Chains A and B, each alone.
Chain A
Amino acid sequence: AQTVTQSQPEMSVQEAETVTLSCTYDTSENNYYLFWYKQPPSRQMILVIRQEAYKQQNATENRFSVNFQKAAKSFSLKISDSQLGDTAMYFCAFMRSTSGTYKYIFGTGTRLKVLA
């Protein structure tokens, strides 16, 4: 069974600095997708960034980038130039698609607080 582990329940970072959130997963699949979702306080969860397992190049979306280490089954999120609006719960998620069906598995989340 696939599992997703986020070992940092809470983190904080000073505004304008860089922070890295860690995520490890366990799977025997070779083709899958990985995601980071952000859930701001009292707001809807939104997708931050995604990575296809067959792509070696790390995904980047503006200030957000990932360090995808397939062999190590690690998928960390780096937030550069942190902003107050980045304060949120961040969830790492694994998705596999098989024969038209798919399943998402989420980690338990990391609560990030950006300090002014």
Chain B
Amino acid sequence: KAGVTQTPRYLIKTRGQQVTLSCSPISGHRSVSWYQQTPGQGLQFLFEYFSETQRNKGNFPGRFSGRQFSNSRSEMNVSTLELGDSALYLCASSSDPGGWGEQFFGPGTRLTVL
């Protein structure tokens, strides 16, 4: 099985712009979660989608949004970028998490905001 893929791998944007990141989960996985990773902060949970519905949401401002398509692919959008949004954005997929809840991570998209 192919692993979780994320595109693009690197992005450079300027303040005020918006950006869309994409994540393709492992085939058969219906849950997709997004995390922001910054040095010293670890991984901060953004949101989780399951079967096109947002099930969980972290404590991020409304500038951060996402969606999931019928094929389980997910996109994350950040509007009005700020310098503090520079981070590695990780996507993780999981099969129906009735029990273990193991997440499989993608390589991440490194976003730099200038």
Contact = CB atoms under 8 A, between A and B. Distances in A.
User: Which of B40, B92, B103, B107 gathers most chain A CB within 10 Å?
Assistant: B103
Interface stretch (B16-24, B41-49, B64-72, B74-82): B41-49
Contacts of A6: 42
Given A50-B100, A106-B44, 17 more contacts: A33-B100, A37-B105, A44-B3, A45-B92, A45-B105, A46-B105, A47-B103, A95-B101, A97-B99, A97-B101, A101-B55, A101-B56, A102-B48, A104-B101, A104-B103, A106-B42, A109-B42
B100 A91 contact: no
A35 B55 contact: no
Interface string A81-116: 000000000010001010011111111110000000
Interface residues of A, number: 23
B90 interface: yes
B101 A102 contact: yes
A91 B44 CA distance: 12
A43 B105 CA distance: 10
The 3 closest A-B pairs by CB, nearest first: A108-B42, A106-B43, A45-B105
15 contacts: A6-B42, A33-B100, A43-B107, A44-B106, A44-B107, A45-B90, A47-B102, A101-B55, A102-B56, A103-B56, A104-B45, A106-B42, A106-B44, A108-B40, A108-B42
Nearest to B103: A104
A102 B94 CA distance: 11
Contacts of A107: 42
